[in-house]
A and B are shown apart, each in its own frame.
Chain A
Amino acid sequence: MGTISVNGQDVEVDEEGYLANLTEWTKEIGAYMAKADDCELADDHWEIISFLREYYEEYQIAPAVRVLTKAVGKKLGKDKGNSKYLYELFPYGPAKQACKYAGLPKPTGCV
């Protein structure tokens, strides 16, 4: 466990930098985490991040990358629901990286 400080707010993260308590999440925290990974978040990133937060809200789970790709395709269209698009946005792995910025736990089964 560690702590990061964003705009004067201290939030707890696990040893891999995932937010400990997802209710503490703010956009600023997501942007701060991305910046630490040298990643600047644009609208396309935020679209996937908010998609993930909605997915988690509904199913209480962070989806595996295969399932994320499929679900994005269904919701946002085929041109976004493919590995190429998602890996370009999140080169460290769309499920792993986007879930982190979204304040979700690491996807189940992700090592």
Chain B
Amino acid sequence: MSDEMMDEEGGVVKKFMYVNRKAPYGTIYALESLEVVLIAAAFEQDVSLAFIDDGVYQIKKGQDTSGIDMKNFSPTYRALEMYDVEKLYVEKESMEERGLTEEDFLVPVEVLGRQDMADMMEEQDIILSF
């Protein structure tokens, strides 16, 4: 990593990216990823989230889980801002292949093309893939 950032206490701040690739329900990955993000937020690192492939469905508006007897945890993505997690990236190709637009998401996101997403990943110190 090139230029290391320091926080106020002199600790090293690393760039963490959580990559979310799976649909919100059916597996535990999406919920686990979100919980790790919320817990790790206490460490005040430079955190971003990427939504790729079916992962883009995790932040889709209007989720209704009443038919599958699972908790609809999608409102929690709106709490990320209060945890100072403000960098949410959606891969443009994944979004478009699924017929979605930026307006379909329940949080503000930055849409990045595949190459820009790859560049963004290149900049990270740590990537956690779910």
Contacts and interface: CB of A to CB of B under 8 A. Distances in A.
A59 B79 contact: yes
Interface stretch (A34-42, A60-68, A86-94, A96-104): A60-68
Interface size class of A (residues with CB under 8 A): 10 to 19
Interface size class of B (residues with CB under 8 A): 10 to 19
A59 B75 contact: yes
Contact of B38 (A64, A70, A71): A64
Which secondary structure characterizes the binding site on chain B? helix
B73 A60 contact: yes
Nearest to A111: B39
Nearest to B82: A67
Contacts of A108: 35, 38-39
A64 B37 CA distance: 12
Nearest to B79: A59
A39 to B, nearest CB: 26
B68 interface: no
A109 interface: yes
Interface in A50-84: 58-61, 63-64, 66-67, 70-71
A58 B73 CA distance: 10
A109 B38 CA distance: 7
A58 B75 contact: yes
Given A59-B78, A70-B82, A108-B35, A64 B42 contact: yes
A60 B75 contact: yes
B109 to A, nearest CB: 18
Contacts of B42: 64, 66, 109
A111 B83 CA distance: 18
Interface core residue of A58, A71, A108 (most chain B CB under 10 Å): A108
Interface of A: 58-61, 63-64, 66-67, 70-71, 108-109
